[in-house]
Amino acid sequence: MSELTVENLHLAYGDNPILKGVDMKLERGEVVSLLGPSGSGKTTLLRAVAGLEVPSQGRILIGDKVVFDGSRGVDVPAEGRNLGLVFQSYALWPHKTVFDNVAYGLKLRHANRGDIGERVRSALEQLSLGPLAQRLPHQLSGGQQQRVALARALVYNPPVILLDEPLSNLDAKLREEARAWLRELIVRLQLSALCVTHDQAEALAISDRILLLNGGRIEQQGTPQEMYSSPQTLFTADFMGSNNRLPGRVAEVRDGMALLEGHGWRLRGTAKPSAAPGGEGVGMIRLENIRIAEGPGENRLPAKLSTSMYLGDRWEHLFHVGEARVRAYGNAQLAGDSHWLEVPPQALWVF
């Protein structure tokens, strides 16, 4: 049985539709990330599941319990859904200690006092917060506050944890460390989690499955590997990863391959379903898949070097191919302005 089921969910703010028929499932021990640009509906979907927004149509089930059904007028309030929620701002009580912040939800549920103490201490120990139990939130680092918010959501063993941009308040280096720590915690405790994020690296790292939203609908869903390596639409390919776009004309499509032509170049690539011979097309390729070549050859582009940027572990070079900008990684700084770029056919997607 799925821990969470969403069926044909619609939600609008006035005359502005936000969710336009979303279907999704969350299985036990699975982490699903809601990914998408601003305004795509990912946070609204999370809030609807939490009971903080009221949809106009559809159903939401937690386990086998219906918590929302638009056709029957069922709408269980947030406090009756028994979900763990970690807010983007953490929402810790500033005047309460770490212990009391984590215990708050149990007290609202009228748990036994002895049981509260045992469960809070266990949650704090699991998150390496035991020595900080008597501190106030302002005495904690951002990463520690984030762990307190997570401990508060976990302490009463909810069936599903809802995470709203859980790492966005951390600086870049701490975010990388927290990402690894959060994934390790999820695997160890076998959590079922629905996570909203705008950070695709975060979604790829912590998720078992990603739902990419676009304009209130699910554009594509799949494992992180499927979403990154096998995009089905131009939007998915463009949103995931760092990409180059090469506009041109689709000269032919044959045996799953497409020939894309531009001004002064011709490239073969993997044909996607939308590629139609004789029409306009777009070639998409990840930065890491382009190679800087020694000279002309098959599936190579003549390019003018514009500038280079040192990233520490590599260089990022910016080229111009006609009016298109093309970026590529390299191990060294480049001399001169005329170069050739090799585009492997299997790595170029033609839409």
Mean pLDDT for 323-345 is 94
Which pLDDT value is given to residue 187?
Answer: 83
Confidence of residue 4 (pLDDT cuts 50, 70, 90): very high
Residues 6+ apart with CB under 8 A from 95: 136
What pLDDT does residue 169 have?
A: 74
pLDDT at residue 181 tops 90 = no
pTM over 0.85: yes
Question: Which range has the worst mean pLDDT, 21-30, 84-93, 245-254, 318-327?
Answer: 84-93
Whether the Cβ atoms of residue 11 and residue 68 lie closer than 8 Å to each other:
no
The whole-angstrom separation of Cα 63 and Cα 61 is 6
Number of CB atoms found within 10 A of residue 206's CB: 26
Is the confidence at residue 231, as pLDDT, over 90? yes
Which of residues 62 and 183 earns the better pLDDT score? Answer: 62
pLDDT band at 293 (very low <50, low <70, confident <90, very high): very high
Beta carbons within 8 Å of 19's beta carbon, 6+ residues apart: 9, 10, 11, 12, 41, 44, 45, 48, 55, 216
Task: Quickly state the pLDDT bin for 272 (edges 50, 70, 90).
Answer: very high
Order of strands across the sheet that contains 161-164: 84-86, 161-164, 193-197, 31-35, 209-214, 217-222
Domain with CATH 3.40.50.300 in the chain: 4-229
- pLDDT the model gives residue 167: 81
Lowest mean pLDDT among 145-149, 218-222, 276-280: 145-149
pLDDT of residue 109: 82
Domain 242-350 has CATH 2.40.50.140: yes
CATH code of domain 4-229: 3.40.50.300
Q: Where in the chain is the domain with CATH 2.40.50.140?
A: 242-350
SS3 295: coil
pLDDT at 323 over 90: no
Average pLDDT over residues 216-240: 96
- Measured CA to CA in angstroms, residue 191 lies from 157, 175, 223 at distances of 9, 20, 17
Quick check: 182 pLDDT over 90? no
